[in-house]
A and B are shown apart, each in its own frame.
Chain A
């Protein structure tokens, strides 16, 4: 298989809490993979492990044929792994444009006019251009989430990790977000998307992974996985619209 990313026997625990339990899976080049699971299941922790802000207890992470398990977060980003944070982490004293520019210059290595033009193009795509000169600390939560997506895109990622970016959107905003993500996917970017807004997720992903207590309990076709017994059990009485 031509995996862009694969994890094998990946485990991580904080004392008694296991957030990743012997996980094994691969993501093929150009795929869109969805991840769901109850609160505290370990979804964000998995992103932290993949991006390098968290070190695994055991196991390996392979990206583009090379083990990145021991590499720094900065290096992984430079190699094309970008993520949005579930809890936005803006550079609050810098403007929206400057936030984008950090990603374009430090990760995508663009300079001068090329960097400016690229950032403006991405800001247009994520509908933040009108707020380009606003200091990020003054943005609403919704715009901070847009900024997370903007910065991730400005790194020119090969693998894009999105962590709950659809929460709190109105129906029409959600539709336009789905269109944006589809467009990014169509450009050849591999996507892993953690999302509680399941209908938005299912509109994009080719495959679904379900995580519970750090374990991968289901992995396969989105519709079949949603209808599987494991998912019904986990979500019983929680997500009525599933």
Chain B
């Protein structure tokens, strides 16, 4: 029997989207050459939030692990950067992947603990763990205890001589990590493990009856996302140059805003967290003067989106224009019928 059907990932009009994606990526990579100092800082911050949102989306949107405790790994990563650079003299750039490895190692026992909990209990469990992390780091007097510590100027200078060079480097690290995380999540979801993860998201009973080890798949996803979140955390505090338990393990900064970003952008899609982060920062920059009014506006926007567009802003755009920057859908095409 001759097979007239082919299976393809990319939609037919993907060339346009791919070119667009390449141009945007190139422009962002060159940002230090065309953005002013304040804007470059902001762009770097957006990159870090895109990273956090992409990772939280992998957990909640794909693995069904609704964690409200990812600040545990942001803070851990930040503290590991400080510990390894200050006490052991590791160069900051090397300390970032080390923070990732430590994040993964700690995530293993944490997973064994919180995976016993389901649904809302899982969410609360992750939060409790993050609080335990915060209280533990507040006890370490070598790292400044409850009031925190700063990175010595000599270590900062070791990264690059001039301030402008440091700021460019800082941006490129954030951009590079965000690009790496998005690419990693994309390739992971396209792999056969990613297919298993998507199946679990849709129906756990069917998934387990079709040979998928649900626990193992979720465990792997949790540990990898903890590792990458720790790396993002290290980078965040390398830019802040100061760390304290309250800032490092802030549920507001590292989880609440991140959830907002993913929800308004579109949960369960790769584009969603990226768009969500841009919208979040646009709102923040225009409404920051409102004080508490700003937070109320965020809340209202989130509620409206959840009610009117459960698939987020990206969901609306995708359905309206039938586009996809990171195509994940398999399409079967019949040569005879389609042409």
Binding site for B on A (CB under 8 A): 51, 53, 72-75, 77-78, 82-83, 85, 89-95, 97-98, 101-103, 105-107, 111, 116-117, 120, 129, 132-133, 151, 155
Contact-residue bracket for chain B: 20 to 34
Q: Mark B194-214, 1 if CB is under 8 A from A, else 0.
A: 011011011101111111111
Q: Does B7 contact A (CB under 8 A)?
A: yes
Q: Mark B327-339, 1 if CB is under 8 A from A, else 0.
A: 0011110000000
CB-based contact B196/A106 at 8 Å? yes
Which of A51, A85, A93, A102 contacts B196 (CB under 8 A)? A102
CB distance from B331 to the nearest CB of A (A): 6
Please give 16 more A-B residue pairs, beta carbons under 8 A apart, in addition to A89-B206, A106-B196, A120-B3.
Answer: A72-B208, A74-B210, A74-B214, A77-B210, A78-B211, A82-B209, A82-B210, A91-B198, A91-B203, A98-B195, A101-B195, A102-B196, A102-B199, A133-B331, A151-B210, A155-B211
Min C-beta distance of B332 to chain A, whole Å:
4
By a CB distance below 8 angstroms, the chain A residues around B203 are: 89-92
Judge whether A106 and B205 touch: CB under 8 Å. no
Hey, which chain A residues are within 8 Å of B141, CB to CB? none
Known: A91-B198, A93-B201, A94-B199. A74 touches B213 (CB 8 A): yes
Known: A72-B208, A90-B206. A106 touches B332 (CB 8 A): no
CB-CB under 8 A for A97 and B7, given A91-B199, A91-B203, A102-B199:
yes
B154 at the interface (CB under 8 A from A): no
| Chain A residues within 8 Å of B212, by CB | 74, 102, 106
| Between-chain CB contacts (< 8 Å), 18 pairs | A72-B213, A73-B209, A74-B210, A77-B209, A78-B211, A85-B209, A97-B330, A102-B199, A102-B207, A102-B210, A105-B192, A106-B195, A106-B207, A106-B211, A107-B210, A117-B3, A120-B5, A132-B5
Contact yes or no, A106 B201, CB < 8 A: no
**B interface residues with partner A (beta carbon < 8 Å):** 3, 5, 7, 192, 195-196, 198-199, 201-203, 205-214, 268, 329-332
Given A89-B205, A91-B203, are A77 and B332 also a contact pair (CB < 8 Å)? Answer: no
**How far, in angstroms, from A90 to B202 measured CA to CA in the complex?**
8
A77 touches B330 (CB 8 A): no
Residues of B contacting A151 in the complex (Cβ-Cβ under 8 angstroms) = 206, 210
Point out the residues of chain A lying under 8 angstroms from B214, CB to CB: 74
Contacts of A51 in B (CB 8 A): 209
Write out the residue numbers on chain B whose beta carbons fall within 8 Å of the beta carbon of A95.
329-330
A111 touches B192 (CB 8 A): yes
Residue from B199, B205, B209 with most neighbouring chain A CB atoms (10 Å): B209
**Complex contacts, B195 vs chain A, CB 8 Å:** 98, 101-102, 105-106
Contacts of A83 in B (CB 8 A): 209
A89 to B206, CA, bound (A): 6
CA distance A105 to B330 in the complex (A): 14
Hey, which chain A residues are within 8 Å of B198, CB to CB?
A: 91, 93-94, 98
Which residue of A has the minimal Cβ distance to B192? Answer: A105
Q: Find out whether the CB atom of A92 lies under 8 angstroms from the CB atom of B331.
A: no
Contact (Cβ within 8 A) A120 B332: yes
Alpha-carbon gap, A1 to B195, bound state (A)? 40
CB of A103 within 8 A of CB of B210, answer yes
- B199 and A53: CB pair below 8 A? no
Which 9 A-B residue pairings sit nearest by Cβ, starting from the closest?
A: A107-B211, A91-B202, A89-B206, A132-B332, A116-B7, A77-B211, A106-B211, A105-B192, A73-B208
A94 to chain B, nearest CB (A): 6
Residues of B within 8 A of A120 (CB): 3, 5, 7, 332
Interface contact B7-A93, CB-CB below 8 Å:
no
List, in ascending order, chain B residues with CB within 8 A of A93's CB.
Answer: 198, 201-202, 268
Bound-state Cα–Cα, A73 to B172, Å:
46
Chain A residues in 8 Å Cβ range of B3? 117, 120
Is the Cβ of A97 less than 8 Å from the Cβ of B332? yes
- Give the nearest-CB partner of B8 in chain A: A116
Residues of A within 8 A of B201 (CB): 93
A53 touches B208 (CB 8 A): yes
In the complex, which residue of chain A has the Cβ closest to the Cβ of B214? A74
| CB of A216 to closest CB in B, whole Å | 24
CA distance A28 to B314 in the complex (A): 54
Chain A residues in 8 Å Cβ range of B268: 93
Distance of A242 Cα from B207 Cα, bound (Å): 37
B292 CB to closest chain A CB, in angstroms? 38
B210 contacts across to A, CB distance below 8 A? 74, 77, 82, 102-103, 106-107, 151, 155
